[in-house]
Amino acid sequence: MPHKVREKIATENGPYSVELEGPEYKTTNALGPMRWLSDPEAILYANRLCNQYGMDTISTGVTIAFAMELHEKGLLDDAELPLEWGDPKTVVGLIERIAHSQGVGNILADGTCRAAERIGRGADYYAMQVKGLELRRQEPRVSKGFGLGHATSNRGADHLYGMPSIDLSGAVDTARHIFPAAIVPELMNPSNEKYKPEMVVYGEHFCAITDSLGICKFSTVEEYSLFPEDLAPGITALWGEAITGEELLLIGERIVNLERLYNVREGLGREQDHLPRRFTEEPAPLYNYELDPVSGEMRRSKDPIRIGRIQDFESMLDRYYDLRGWSRDGVPTLQTLKRLGLEGYATGREAKTAGAGYG
């Protein structure tokens, strides 16, 4: 069993004294730096509050940042909380108010999408969400595969739906094992958008399998210690009939298409498979930081060392649909449904011609 790290705030009588297992890194980002909160005790305390109330730490952090930016733009105020960047009272106070749907928390309790609808006045521009789910802590203008994956995920901007991290982790051997050798050099370049759809499609199939089997994704789509063919013997023994890794991936594809059919039935399509406009319209300058030996503070470089930018999201989305055998509206075709044995679940919106098809 892995050793469980426990963190305890050192202050004896401080307002944020708490005992908590070591915080997860995306939680730390969402509850800390994303709102310019630098107090580690307040971050850990906010983490504990979210755990106590059963609130997703990432969505909560993004929603609080949303409230702070709306306040900065003159779109949201609160009589009791300053809603200022970096203010621990605001972070902790909003968690309490969201949990109990009190005051401004009643507006924010259903997340940024619905809050933006209620607030109006252009608030939707600041809502960092896809299909109602707040973006996870990957930067789409740098992590192009995650950008596409956040947009296409059937359950909203969830990094664990496809976990397309092969390029970012430099896993060249994994890429060569999965994809045609000819595309590996471009696929492994995080800035190159051409083959990011291939990575997202494969990841979504494999994630659907691991979710169904209850297998930790650190051993599969995170580190690729296990491939589908490694899981097949165990499933064969369980079912009493032979199954291959390729057949498991086909099951994953079937799951993704069933989920998509549900979304199609509910009126979702290409329009919902998009990132917030800021990620396709605004560049993301990346700076170098160095420790100032005199002040002990981190100093940012004068000029950016790199500019993160999505070049052509629509082309990535078109390619993704083609690989899946969906229409350019994001609807599974009849041909695809028949290939997967799902024609009985057709919604009536299916196109009659298929895309390129995966593989």
Quick one: pLDDT at residue 352? 54
162 touches 188 (CB < 8 A): no
Span 149-176, mean pLDDT?
A: 95
Last residue of some domain: 127, 161, 190?
Answer: 127
192 and 145 within one domain? yes
Tokens 């609808």, residue?
A: 117
Q: Could you tell me the residue range of the domain that residue 42 belongs to?
A: 1-127
Structure tokens at 310: 């999505």
232: left (phi over 0), alpha (psi -120 to 50) or beta: alpha
Quick one: pLDDT at residue 356? 46
Note whether residue 133 is domain-resident.
no
pLDDT, one tens digit per residue, over 54-76 is 999 999 999 999 999 999 999 99
CA distances from 176 to 92, 110, 166, 180, 357 (A): 47, 43, 11, 7, 20
Taken as a whole, the chain contains a residue count of: 359
Note whether residue 132 is domain-resident.
no
Question: CATH number of the domain that 123 lies in?
Answer: 1.10.569.10
Note whether residue 65 is domain-resident.
yes
253 touches 205 (CB < 8 A): yes
Last residue of some domain: 74, 92, 127?
Answer: 127
Note whether residue 275 is domain-resident.
yes
Backbone angles phi, psi at 31, to 5 degrees: -95, -5
Span 155-159, mean pLDDT?
A: 94
Note whether residue 327 is domain-resident.
yes
Quick one: pLDDT at residue 12? 53
Average pLDDT for the chain? 91
- Nearest residue to 283 via CA among 111, 142, 136, 109: 142
Residue, of 172 and 2, whose pLDDT is higher: 172
Question: CATH number of the domain that 221 lies in?
Answer: 1.10.599.10
Going by C-beta distance under 8 Å and a sequence separation of 6 or more, which residues neighbour residue 292?
298, 299
- Angle separating helix axes 57-72 and 40-53, nearest 10 degrees: 120
Rg over alpha carbons for the chain, rounded to the nearest Å, is: 22
Going by C-beta distance under 8 Å and a sequence separation of 6 or more, which residues neighbour residue 78?
71, 103, 104
Note whether residue 325 is domain-resident.
yes
82 pLDDT above the threshold of 70: yes
261 pLDDT above the threshold of 50: yes
- Nearest residue to 88 via CA among 47, 59, 124, 119: 47
142 and 120 within one domain? no
Note whether residue 57 is domain-resident.
yes
Beta-sheet pairing, 298-300 with 289-291: antiparallel
122 and 182 within one domain? no
Quick one: pLDDT at residue 104? 96
158 and 118 within one domain? no
Last residue of some domain: 92, 108, 127?
Answer: 127
Span 243-254, mean pLDDT?
A: 97
Q: What are the strands, taking DSSP E only, across the chain? A: 6-8, 19-21, 129-130, 133-134, 284-286, 289-291, 298-300, 306-308
156 and 113 within one domain? no
pLDDT, one tens digit per residue, over 299-330 is 999 999 989 899 999 999 999 999 999 999 99
- With DSSP H G I counted as helix, E B as strand and the rest as coil, what are the percentages for the chain, rounded to 5? 50, 5, 45
203 and 77 within one domain? no
Going by C-beta distance under 8 Å and a sequence separation of 6 or more, which residues neighbour residue 28?
43, 47
CA angle 196/57/60 to nearest 5° reads 95
167 and 215 within one domain? yes
152 and 123 within one domain? no
- Nearest residue to 304 via CA among 284, 282, 286: 286
**Looking at the 3D structure of the chain, how many domains does it have?**
2
